[in-house]
Amino acid sequence: MAYTFESTKAGYASMWAKAQIVNSKISAANLAAGRISSNADRYRTVEKATGVPWFFVGCIHMREADLNFKGCLANGEEIIGTGRKTTLVPKGLGPYATWEDSAIDALKHEGFLGISPWDAPRCLWGAEVYNGLGYVNRGVNSPYVWSWTNLQQSGKFTADGKFDSAAWDTQPGVAALMMALAHNLSDVAAALDGKPSGTPQTGPKPAMDATTTTTAGSNVFDQINADLQLAQAELPQLLSVLSIFFPPLKAAIPFLSLIPVVIQAVQTVQAATGGTPASATAAVVQHLTPGQPNAPALT
């Protein structure tokens, strides 16, 4: 079956309702949203030519080129003004005199021109299609869409066609960026709710604050898992560099191998107990106490 918006919009709407930015990334997401909105005039130029909302263009630009206007929107290759065409997927696009030319062409290449409305489910579908369906085909929540949220899962394409199931994407995903933009800008919030600009937001996204505490037990586990995955991805290189200046840190490097074990333990306890701290505590007590009935399996 074709991966159409009509066949997937209910699923994306459900995921959007459940998604939250993990607490450890709220401040960074707000900063990223500020960077995107500072370029709104350039993104609005693209919106006028294509009908694709400026905030979605900005989120894609963040993913593809970290907001570098030398990098084309299609894949971030720095070919603007060089007379060269893209050599990475999608290959052969360009050359482009301006970044705006590259953005309009990339959105046209994806078939996004003339689509309306661009509410949250449409944007999520658009981001998925824009990046390719490699994650969908593997049954993995795409980090291109869900990174920095409680719906992120392990696994990342580290190069074109090269998937690493243990890799953890550290870039912000489109969903997290849109949540942060919607929190700060009423027109974005209204658009994602599928309402005219200026309409108050009524969607499920809570107010964000760097001091926000996650109260749902399942989200506690999701956040712990996300932070552990991030540590697994970034700590080896960080400790290697820091140990040059502070050699005693080398003693910590062998212990990094324990991180995957802890990740597996968190996921196992979450799956076995329904994901709440109280039920997890009860499960561990039962598991360690002889004669307790109905102890959930933790192995």
The model's confidence at residue 214, banded by pLDDT at 50, 70 and 90, is: very low
The CB density around residue 286, as the number of other CB atoms within 10 Å, is 16
- Model confidence pLDDT, tens digit, residues 40-69: 999 999 999 999 999 999 999 999 999 999
**CA-to-CA distance for 71 and 102, rounded, in angstroms?**
9
pLDDT of residue 67: 97
pTM of the full structure: 0.70
Q: Is the pLDDT of residue 169 over 90?
A: yes
- Residue 121 makes CB contacts below 8 A (sequence gap 6+) with 5, 8, 9, 10, 12, 13, 16
Q: What is the pLDDT of residues 175-211, one digit of tens each?
A: 999 999 999 999 999 999 998 654 444 444 444 654 4
What average pLDDT does range 68-73 have in this prediction?
98
Given a cut of 70, is residue 135 above it in pLDDT? yes
Band of residue 242 on the pLDDT scale cut at 50, 70, 90: confident
- Contact yes or no for 250/238 (Cβ under 8 A): no
10 Å Cβ neighbour count for 216?
A: 12
pLDDT recorded at residue 252: 81
- Phi, psi values for residue 21, rounded to 5°: -70, 130
